Amino acid sequence: MLTISQLASYAGVTVRAVRHYHAKGLLPEPERDHSGYRRYDAAAVVELVKIRTLADAGVPLSRVHELLAAGDEEFAAAVEDIDRRLRGEIRERQRHRERIAKLAAGDSLALPPEVVAYLDRMRELDFPERLIEVERDSWILIAAQLPQEVPALMAIKHGQIEHPVLRRLYLDIGDLVDCSPDDPRLPAVADRVAAFIEAAAAEAVAFEEEFEPVSEDLIALLDTAFVEAVPCAPRLFALLEERGWTGWTDIRRIDATV
């Protein structure tokens, strides 16, 4: 006769596992000797090995008893059902692994490849990382609402960032991302933004088409996000209004909105 420790050793499990199987009703409680200790026979070892084998194969403990008592056909059907469940779990875990990989991929977590490429290009052009973060968060909002429009919008954005004058202006705005509302550079930047928009309108440059498919609600949300991220944004907006322009995501002439 075997002690519980010997039984566990023969079956390749822990004593704790044996007690757990007792609690689950999978392994019958043996008779106790005169000292009150459990004593097991060879049949218990065989039964425990079967339980361990099924559990190691991924069979839920709730179904182990069923399989131990099943005939050949029932056993085969149950194994097929369990295999189907395991394949589903594997697919789900693979999706989890893909999500975890995206977490390690930074910008790729919530952005399509076109936007990631654009942000990488901003880094190549030495844009401040804080401005890139603001841009990234804006595109997370856009991509969530307008996934089909992202490629067309990104084509426009790439054209803008390669435009020498606009890129220089954008870089200078990036230098002001963390500045205070009373920064003396803001009026000059507002002058340059207004001048560029005026020149673009006069030359019929299609920068105003950038956010044409974006709803007014989303435009308002993007402007709000910019204000929350950039301390000097309200002051910059006020300076632009003094120069006849309103908005940021979709800058418009003030006289065209009344």
pLDDT digits (tens, 9 = 90+) for 33-43: 888 888 899 89
Residue 203 pLDDT level (bands cut at 50, 70, 90): low
pLDDT of residue 257: 45
Per-residue pLDDT reduced to its tens digit, 172-199: 999 999 999 999 999 999 999 999 888 8
User: Is residue 66 pLDDT above 90, yes or no?
Assistant: no
d(CA 77, CA 157): 57
Residue with structure tokens 């697919």?
91
Q: What is the number of helices (H) and of strands (E) in the chain? A: 12, 2
CB 118 within 8 A of CB 158: yes
User: Is residue 204 pLDDT above 60, yes or no?
Assistant: no
d(CA 3, CA 97): 43
Q: What predicted TM-score, i.e. pTM, was given to this entire model?
A: 0.56
pLDDT of residue 202: 65
d(CA 24, CA 26): 6
Give the number of residues written for the chain. 258
Rounded to 5°, the CA angle 161-149-248 comes to: 50
How many C-beta atoms surround the C-beta of residue 186 within 10 A?
Answer: 19
Rounded to 5°, the CA angle 217-143-122 comes to: 110
pLDDT of residue 192: 93
Residue 207 pLDDT level (bands cut at 50, 70, 90): very low
How many C-beta atoms surround the C-beta of residue 239 within 10 A?
Answer: 19
Domains of the chain: 4-103 (1.10.1660.10), 107-256 (no CATH)
Per-residue pLDDT reduced to its tens digit, 248-257: 988 888 875 4
User: Is residue 205 pLDDT above 60, yes or no?
Assistant: no
